[in-house]
Structure 1
């Protein structure tokens, strides 16, 4: 049996731990007859907690008085926590299934629950919420959540959660048009991962793919090529498939209908874990696609070799990639075909990229229309080429282009200027160049030659 002092110490420890889990400072809980110094004494076990203060703190921290006193949850509270975790796994499954608004709504509902869900559940919900925001084209909002999660000292470099957050941070900086920040985050994370795991393994793939693209986007072609050469052997390993996922989901639904929350949670967790295995296949495809794109952008482009890697990537991504992944691969294939003089094939790949991009403003559509315009010009179909470039003008002049402001937008305008210039339409070219300079925050500078290179992320 605990002594009075032992019980006071344990209550203080639970108060401190819960406050930190909730992200609160002592000053956030102080007030109404309880100063910061008094709360500090309570947390250190140097003062007993009165029943009135205990009830107030339990309400503030979103737990029961029983838990603060004993560290034990009631059966009712344990069942409530299981229900919250089940709701979260269903939101995560919606995320995996491409139902991003529903996933975001589910995560936010779990995070708004009072009393709050357990700390581990809340972390998962916040991570999934950031993922949903990214997929919905709101990377700036996702970054705020991801930075805070990544700074948490309780997750160690090399862990699955740490790796997922590092990759997401790098990717969202790219989507927000901040390749230099993506490089900084990615390089630091890769160094930490290398310190834990000296030889590259599958864990390096996701981070490596994001960092290669970050170097590529920021102009560091040599660094991107060096990292791609290091990781490319991993792309030849075979990934296992996840055919049982649907069966687990169906079994989980049946268990939920029968009121067995614990079993439903277990089965849905299994379903959630299985698709993660296919992420390795996706990263393999992205690595090959990124390598092919690097071969096109080097000082001595190698379109034939690039095309072979991109064809392999296309097969891999058709099996387990996202539509945006496949669209980026199609754009690179279009570039390779145009370099090889296969203009009809280049146009076909650009059209497939447009189909995959859909109606969402991701920026892929802009680059696909640019590629298609160039392909049509090279085919001698001037009217269709002009129509494609006018479409690009309309997209870039609206708020629905899906490109980050600054460098990405400037590069697209500059590429458009190059293509207008290639068609002999100097007035249109100069307008596009001026728009590009304005997007970059410059004026009076000479236009630079743009590469028709889309963002892969």
Structure 2
């Protein structure tokens, strides 16, 4: 070791703990332990072929550098900035081991990965998110890890890998366990959507309502987080038959929208609100909401979401018996989703398209489409839509005179929808099954089916949900 005999300067003395006085155990925020920093300084010094004296001068001594490299002293910020300049690295890299501006660079690349998911292929986006996750893990960047995990979850949602999606969202929430709820809202929403798509409607509502309660009762009334959660709750509420709650969530989302600057969130809100408008018979208002959403999605080049707008517009046309326009919109949505390789959503659109084809007299084409898609709509990947597919196959079989096949499909649909708790659809399938059984003279069995349906229709949604989530105590945006 060179230069050990030089007297310590006043600056050096300030850096060196007094003999017999233990070093403070607490470390400056974001700084590694002294031993880790010392080893880093030693490695960088040797890579640059500097002696301890050369590194120390003019502000410190070689003896101080030796003590620091041995991990026996915690360097101050001033000392680290001096050493960083001499070693030609950033202060952040010397203090934490992270390259300078790494977090900023990662956030930019995460935004690029989100654009790939929106405009390109989910598989390509997942590869990029995976790379960024590994990079964030390497340097312990928890927020960026959570963002990458959430992105991977959204990729898995699009490709229909719902168990994988749930795992990614849960991991993201764990990374943000100590963060305020608004920072976790995107991951919570993603996990709830994954459960919803799997047919676990009640649990999806539970996750969203719990988060809304926490936000509204704790003062953390972040408009963007609230908008995400209220918007996501509309679909499971509707499928459960809880139309009043869906309408309330839609009203609160509409009130929040002017306070939110993210156009993708606003577009998602308009698309979800359109569903409540359709249920209320307000077709013109629903079409206007979908047009607003489609315009924003077009500007953002969000192809999957734009396909959803075509899908819902097809549904609106079908509700008003404009079957030609309905088929056109649904085929557009179908083509867009196939190009995005969004397998689960593609199958769900095919159920709607098959219904329109059946009503247009193309029963054979509809049946073939339904049989092909059912393989991808097993109970853990879209129970509600699988139930819808069996319902349509039952109608096609009944219309062709095959009562036995019709009954089989209706019973299968009933089982799937009961598992999901889809109250409104359950009432309808019970009516169809009851009518079929009655036409065959099986009166008692028909009465049982009707009673089951009436039980689901009497108070839709209220028997499967707890108390409604708390409303915001104040709504300054209203």
TM-score (norm 1): 0.64
User: Structure 2 residue aligned with 1:291, among 249, 256, 276?
Assistant: 276
CA distance, structure 1, for counterparts of residue 405 and residue 147 of structure 2: 50
Matches of 1:372 and 1:129 in 2, distance apart? 29
Q: Is the 8 A contact 2:215 2:221 kept in 1?
A: no
**1:86 matched to 2:133:** no
Residue aligning to 1:222: 244
Q: Counterparts in 2 of 1:188-199, with a 5 A limit?
A: 188-196=210-218
Q: Could you report, residue by residue, the CA deviation over 1:139-168 in whole angstroms, capped at 9, with x for unpaired residues? A: 3223223224335442113x3x22222322
Aligned-pair distance for 1:198? 8.8
- Report the counterpart of residue 9 of structure 1 in structure 2: 25
Q: Distance in 1 between matches of 2:382 and 2:143?
A: 38
SS at match of 1:376: helix
Shift of 1:228: 1.9
Match of 1:372 in 2: 353
The Cα of 1:415 is off from its aligned counterpart by: 2.4
> Quick check: 222-231 or 123-132, which moved more?
123-132
- Write the distance in 1 (CA, Å) between the matches of 2:292 and 2:233: 23
Distance 1:391 1:164 in 2: 34
Cα deviation for residue 193 of structure 1 reads 2.0
1:313 maps onto 2:290 in alignment: yes
Q: Among residues 368, 371, 377, which one is paired with 1:390 in the alignment?
A: 368
How far off is 1:284 after superposition? 3.3
CA distance in 1, matches of 2:266, 2:380: 28
For 1:181 and 1:126, locate their aligned partners in 2 and report how far apart those are by CA, in whole Å.
21
2:201 maps to 1:179: yes
CA distance in 1 between counterparts of 2:418 and 2:214 reads: 36
Give, in whole Å, the separation in 2 of the partners of 1:239 and 1:344. 37
Structure 2: distance between partners of 1:105 and 1:66: 39
Aligned to 2:400: 424
Residue 363 (structure 1) shift = 3.5
Question: Which runs of structure 2 are paired with 1:39-188 in the superposition (5 Å)?
Answer: 69-70=74-75, 75=89, 77=93, 80=99, 82-83=101-102, 85-87=104-106, 89-98=108-117, 99=120, 100-113=122-135, 115-151=138-174, 152-157=176-181, 159=182, 161-188=183-210
Distance 1:69 1:434, change over 3 A: farther
C-alpha contact 2:297 2:303 (8 A) present in aligned 1: no
Q: Kindly indicate whether the alpha-carbon contact (under 8 Å) linking 2:146 and 2:173 is maintained by their aligned counterparts in 1.
A: no
In structure 2, what is the Cα distance between the partners aligned to 1:89 and 1:200? 24
Change over 3 Å in CA distance of 1:120–1:218 after alignment to 2: same
* Distance in structure 2 (CA, Å) of the matches to 1:291 and 1:439: 24
Tell me by how many angstroms 1:185 deviates.
Answer: 0.9
Cα distance in 1 for residues equivalent to 2:125 and 2:158: 10
**C-alpha deviation, 1:195, in angstroms:** 2.5
2:328 is aligned to: 348
Higher Cα radius of gyration: 2
Q: CA deviation at 1:420?
A: 1.3
- Deviation per CA, 1:307-350, whole angstroms, max 9, x where unpaired? 43234313422432743433333333333333323222222232
CA-based RMSD of the aligned residues comes to: 4.3
Give me the whole-angstrom Cα distance separating, in 1, the residues matched to 2:273 and 2:179: 30
Q: Any stretches of 5+ residues in structure 1 without a counterpart?
A: 19-42, 44-48, 56-63, 241-276, 296-301, 452-457
Report how far residue 411 of structure 1 moved: 1.7
> Which segment drifts farther, 365-374 or 165-174?
365-374
Kindly state the Cα deviation for residue 199 of structure 1 after the two structures are TM-superposed.
7.9
Alpha-carbon distance between aligned partners in 2 of 1:422 and 1:319, rounded to the nearest angstrom: 43
| Runs of 4+ in structure 1 over 6 Å off | 64-68
- CA distance in 2 between counterparts of 1:110 and 1:67 reads 35
Distance 1:103 1:394, change over 3 A: closer
Given that 1:91 and 1:107 are in contact with CA atoms closer than 8 Å, whether structure 2 keeps it comes out as: yes
Deviations 1:26-45 (A, max 9, x none): xxxxxxxxxxxxxxxxx9xx
Q: Is the 8 A contact 1:133 1:142 kept in 2?
A: yes
State the aligned residue count.
Answer: 360
SS of 2:430 mapped into structure 1 = coil
User: Distance between the aligned counterparts of 1:205 and 1:325, measured in 2?
Assistant: 17
Partner in structure 1 of residue 468 of structure 2: none
Decide whether aligned partners of structure 1 residues 127 and 7 sit closer, same or farther in structure 2, where only a CA change above 3 A counts. farther
Q: Is the 8 A contact 2:297 2:306 kept in 1?
A: no
State the SS of the aligned residue for 2:387: helix
Match of 1:448 in 2: 430
Q: 1:101·1:132 contact (CA, 8 Å) conserved in 2?
A: yes
Residue 339 and residue 229 in structure 1: after superposition, are their counterparts in 2 closer, same or farther (change >3 A)?
same
Question: Which of the residues 337, 342, 347 maps onto 1:357?
Answer: 337
Q: Name the CA distance, whole Å, in 1 between partners of 2:242 and 2:149.
A: 33
CA 1:350–1:82: 2 relative to 1, 3 Å: same
1: distance between equivalents of 2:191 and 2:230? 13
Q: CA contact under 8 A between 1:225 and 1:291: conserved in structure 2?
A: yes
